[in-house]
Structure 1
Amino acid sequence: MTYFVKQHGEIIPLETRVLISKRYKAITSAVNSEFWNIPSEQQHSMYVGSYGRGTAIETSDLDVLVSLPKEKYQHYDSLKGNGQSRLLQSVRQAILYTYPRTDIRADGQVVKVTFSDGMKFEILPAFETKYWDGRTTYQYPDTNMGGNWLSTNPKAEQDAMRAKNKTSCGLLIDTCKHIRYIRDNYFSTYHLSGIVIDSFVYQAISGWKWLQPGEPSNNARGEYERHLLRKFYDVFPSLYYSHISAPGSDQLIDASTSVKCLEKTLLLMAEA
């Protein structure tokens, strides 16, 4: 049996995508009604994480960033006693109005919404900042260590992934999805985050791409997977203290808890 990357593999079924969209719109509307006083199902909200980067599979959690009014940042930042935690609780309460029987919890940096069918959403409330050079970043709450604010640039990550996926003729996204599939089906007891997968493949893919129909290949079957394994040891010379830069945003990601599972996954994929 081989575990090579498959073209157009790990597609999320249409029925599941329709349900994701329905719940995304309901959650967005709930937050907009509470914080913007509008019932919009689309404004001030976007998919982030694996789903936003196009690398999610059917088992992936759904990450959603909801942008809140700037004055709300000033309000929660000025509160004593972990205003970040109070912000998450306010977002949680807004979603509870729409899903009163659903398991909804504030957890660290997000509000986790776990539906009875196993589908999980993670809602990240954030505040948008636009810069003169066109960059857009978002400040989001971190309730740990008494509360503070962190920054993210998901649009830059999504743009970078789309651009490299295009030059690789779809190989980038297919590889990221396949690694998730291997992780979930063979190494589910290990931790391997989606952003570490995507950041690694983005760096490791080099000039590899899917061939066009009729285009001859100069590489033996499985050589791409062995290339990824070799690049793994270049990117992560230490399996105990490892970091990697996210695509586009160059945000430094702590990969130390993910590298062991990533190594196991790539070793399995590289087997002849």
Structure 2
Amino acid sequence: MSYHVSKHGEIIPMDTRMIISTRYKTITKAVNREFWNSTSETSHSLYVGSYGRGTAVDTSDIDMLVELPKSEYDRFDIYKGNGQSRLLQVVKSAIQTSYPRTDVRADGQVVEISFTDGIKFEVLPAFVSSDWYENVTYQYPDTNMGGNWRSTNPKAEQEAMRSKNNSDYGLLFDTCKHMRYIRDSFFSSYHLSGIVIDSFVYAAIGGWSWSQPSSTSSAPAGDYEKHLYNTYINTYRYASTITAPGSNQTVDLRNSRDCLEKVLYKMTQ
């Protein structure tokens, strides 16, 4: 049996995507009502994580970001004793107005909403900010270690991933999804984060792509997978970090290295 990458299109069924969309809009509306005096189901929110980057294969974690007014940052930043935790509790309460009988809890950096059908949303409250180069980023709360603010740039990551996927005729997304499939099917007891998978494939894919429509591949089967594995061995086997696409933020690689190597080796078989 071959574990090579193949063209397989969407993994998550459309009816499941519709359920996700409905819940996304309900959460967005609840947060907008609380913080923006608005009932919009689409403003001030976006999908992030694997689902937002287009590389998810399951619905166990749907990540979304909700933008809050800058005045809320000023309000909670002056709190003594973990204002970040207080902010999460306020967002949690806002969401509970729409889901009073659902398991909703604040955890670390996000508000988790666990539905009985196995779909879980992780909602990240954030504030628009800018870096030194005037690139738009987001600041979000981290309640760990007494509370602090961290930075993320999901839009840059999504744009970079989509652009590369278009240029290689879908090979980037197919590879990232396939690696998640291999991880979940054979190495589920190991840790390998989605951002590590996406960052690695983005960096390692090089000039490889699916053949253009109406043309055939000139590469022998398995060469692409060997290229990915060899890139890992030669460049990342002993690395402690990897760079996220687009945002260029540093991603910790250490806890994912063992599983990443196992997945890549399995794909060469």
1:154-165 equivalences in 2 (<5 Å):
154-165=154-165
Q: Matched residue pairs, number? A: 269
CA distance in 1, matches of 2:111, 2:71: 20
- 1:94 aligned partner, one-letter code: A
The 1:176–1:60 alpha-carbon spacing in structure 2 relative to 1, beyond 3 Å, is farther
User: Matched residue of 2:80: which SS?
Assistant: coil
The 1:116–1:40 alpha-carbon spacing in structure 2 relative to 1, beyond 3 Å, is same
1:140 is matched with 140
1:112-151 equivalences in 2 (<5 Å):
112-130=112-130, 135-151=135-151
CA distance in 2, matches of 1:216, 1:5: 16
TM score, norm. by length of structure 2? 0.96
Counterpart contact for 1:10–1:177, Cα < 8 Å: no
Counterpart contact for 1:245–1:252, Cα < 8 Å: yes
Counterpart contact for 1:196–1:244, Cα < 8 Å: yes
The 1:60–1:207 alpha-carbon spacing in structure 2 relative to 1, beyond 3 Å, is farther
The Cα shift of 1:214 comes to 3.8
The Cα shift of 1:136 comes to 0.8
Query: Which 5+ residue runs of structure 1 have no aligned equivalent?
Result: none
Q: Within the alignment, does 1:57 sit opposite 2:57 as a pair?
A: yes
* Percent of residue pairs bearing the same amino acid type: 62
User: Matched residue of 2:255: which SS?
Assistant: coil
1:79-90 equivalences in 2 (<5 Å):
79-90=79-90
Counterpart contact for 1:66–1:126, Cα < 8 Å: yes
1:264 is matched with 262
Which residue of 248, 251, 269 corresponds with 2:249? 251
CA distance in 1, matches of 2:257, 2:110: 24
1:67-82 equivalences in 2 (<5 Å):
67-82=67-82
Deviations 1:41-75 (A, max 9, x none): 10000001111111111245111000000000000
CA distance in 2, matches of 1:263, 1:167: 26
User: Matched residue of 1:257: which SS?
Assistant: helix
TM score, norm. by length of structure 1? 0.95
The Cα shift of 1:133 comes to 5.8
2:2 is matched with 2
The Cα shift of 1:187 comes to 1.0
1:38 is matched with 38
2:29 is matched with 29
Q: CA RMSD in A?
A: 1.4
User: Matched residue of 1:140: which SS?
Assistant: strand
1:237 is matched with 237
Counterpart contact for 2:59–2:120, Cα < 8 Å: no
- 1:206 aligned partner, one-letter code: G
CA distance in 2, matches of 1:8, 1:216: 17
Counterpart contact for 1:50–1:60, Cα < 8 Å: no
1:196 is matched with 196
User: Matched residue of 1:2: which SS?
Assistant: coil
Deviations 1:184-221 (A, max 9, x none): 11111111111000000000000000002442322211
Counterpart contact for 1:13–1:58, Cα < 8 Å: no
- 1:258 aligned partner, one-letter code: S
Moved more, 67-76 or 51-60: 51-60
